[in-house]
Amino acid sequence: MILIKTHILNPLNRFETEFRKNVFLTIKGNRIHSLSDQPDDDHWEDYTHCVCLPGMIDAHVHLSQFRIRGKHSSELLPWLNEHVFPEEARSSEPEYADVIAREFFQDLIRKGTTTSVIYTAPFFSACDKAFRIAEELGVRALIGAALMDVNSPEGLQQKTDTAFQESVDLYHEWNGKNELLEYIFSPRFAPVCSPRLMKLTGDFASRNNAYIQTHLSENLEEIKLVRSLYPEVSSYTEVYLKNNLLGPKTLLGHAIHLSDSELEIIKKTGSKVIHCPDSNFFLKSGQFPWSDLLRFEIPFALGSDVGAGTDLSMFQVMKMANYRQDEYIVSPEEAFYLATRGGAEAIGKDDQIGAIEVGKSADLVFADCRDPQTRESSDILSELMYLETNQKINTVFVNGKIKFQRAR
């Protein structure tokens, strides 16, 4: 059992954050066992120089692109061809896939992210390696190999049946192998996936209540390409609907340029949207329709989208969420919610993670904080969101175990 004295910042909803000072937090096994104003023991670890936050949740990130952060290009499609596809091809080599997976997960934990939803390069071995490293390091993740069987570069384009079967094999090997790891089927996006591959994937995921992630309407040229490839449908979103890819366990990355009819489809199917503001800013993809998502009551969360995103820090993503909106003002409380409890709700795990509550997994981040006793929660959240938070991360727990601790 671990007993800690600290100050807790806990997201209650989109606009409210609970701030409890001088709380005694008990971790028993992998769970938060108690939260009390009085200690159960005379000996505790003193973290009163910190604030304790729920572990951050990155709901959209590309492990195999970790080393191409900051590689400039004009927009999405040229960037994929110039930087992403050549880099992902390198992960066909097991040694390289091992190295980049270790670098990725170690940086992720240092930045305070305890749960991530991950694409790997389109190779069975690269995805399997990512799972093995995640298992070894004890991190929480949903991981999937990117699927692409048409209109793709040599070396990355897969045969349809092979791509599908390898994903099924990875699903059977890793999904629920332990309480921290699950498989997520990952058709990259409609331009590089045949209808048959999408339908096979959607039908299998539906039968097995499995997760799906893909990209939707990130870029205007991408949308034009989809319309040329699928002239028989009325919208990009309808391509996914026809191929059974939408549903309550589907995560749609970006979703920037959507009509009301597409938003209605997303709402009716219960699909979730993942907003990646740093990436959208970097590639000049467009402004996320924040107010429209609220109007349609479509749940959404935040993702770093590394490598178009420039940093794995979800605090950076929180900051960019506000910077990237011209009219809607994203408060620190709302951004914090979307990176924690809101992220957990979007991926269907709010009964386990996303908040500091008795019974939930002890996924916790302790951040150094100046004078926490005398400050308000809004002031502290604003500082964490805007001012070099990576240097403030002190200790990170995943599932009750310390995974990072800054040298004192």
**Domain shared by 30 and 130, yes or no:** no
pLDDT of residue 408: 62
Whether the CB-CB separation of 23 and 7 falls below 8 Å is answered with yes
pLDDT of residue 187: 98
pLDDT of residue 73: 86
**Domain shared by 95 and 41, yes or no:** no
> How many whole angstroms separate alpha carbon 119 and alpha carbon 99?
16
CA 94 to chain centre: 24
**Domain shared by 123 and 61, yes or no:** yes
Domain boundary, last residue among 312, 341, 372: 312
For tokens 């936050």, what's the residue?
53
**Domain shared by 144 and 220, yes or no:** yes
CA 261 to chain centre: 26
Residue 96, domain extent: 56-312
> How many whole angstroms separate alpha carbon 19 and alpha carbon 21?
7
Here the CATH number for the domain that contains residue 176 is: 3.20.20.140
Whether the CB-CB separation of 5 and 22 falls below 8 Å is answered with yes
> How many whole angstroms separate alpha carbon 17 and alpha carbon 382?
12
Whether the CB-CB separation of 55 and 365 falls below 8 Å is answered with yes
Bridging pattern class, strands 364-368 and 2-11: unpaired
> How many whole angstroms separate alpha carbon 330 and alpha carbon 184?
29
Closest alpha carbon to 399 in 10, 32, 52, 106: 32
- β-pair partners for 143: 118, 183
pTM of the model: 0.97
Domain boundary, last residue among 254, 278, 312: 312
Residue 6 inside a domain? The answer is yes
> How many whole angstroms separate alpha carbon 276 and alpha carbon 254?
6
Phi, psi of 48 (to 5 degrees): -75, -5
pLDDT of residue 373: 87
Whether the CB-CB separation of 4 and 33 falls below 8 Å is answered with no
Low-confidence ranges of the chain (pLDDT < 50): none
Helix (H) or strand (E) holding 223: helix 220-229
**Domain shared by 192 and 214, yes or no:** yes
Here the CATH number for the domain that contains residue 362 is: 2.30.40.10
**Domain shared by 24 and 165, yes or no:** no
> How many whole angstroms separate alpha carbon 368 and alpha carbon 390?
10
Domain boundary, last residue among 312, 335, 363: 312
**Domain shared by 121 and 259, yes or no:** yes
Helices first, then strands: H and E counts in the chain: 15, 15
Non-local (6+) Cβ contacts of 172 within 8 A are none
Domain count, the chain: 2
